[in-house]
Amino acid sequence: MSWLDVLSAVLLISGGIFFLTGTVGMLRFSSCYSRLHALTKADNAGLGLIALGLMVQAESLWVALKILLVWALALLAATVSAHLIARFSLRVDRGTQRAPP
């Protein structure tokens, strides 16, 4: 087992721990904003660590760049969706928009 394998395993396990922490935060917090904060921060960090762990084991630079692109797109999508959910929750809290059934 080389040091790259060990580094990759540490990054993958760390990413999994971040995912687990975000899930626990989502289940424990009561407000929508706290849940979003815990979940998006932990999931973005977890996915970044998992992407780094996979990039270490990538066959070529091209594959590593593809993994980096997937992580960047997921980061962008998570940021936009969290913003939209928080904005909708704020409108529901203010009473300007009705919550869906």
Mean pLDDT score of the chain: 90
Number of folded domains that form the chain: 1
Mind listing the pLDDT tens digit for each residue in 19-42?
A: 999 999 889 988 888 888 888 889
Split at pLDDT 50, 70, 90, the class of 92 is: confident
Answer whether residue 45 shows pLDDT above 90: yes
- Beta-carbon neighbour count of residue 49 at 10 Å? 21
Task: Give the CA dihedral 62, 72, 22, 96, nearest 10 degrees.
Answer: -160
**pLDDT > 90 fraction of the chain, expressed in percent and rounded:** 62
pTM over 0.85: no
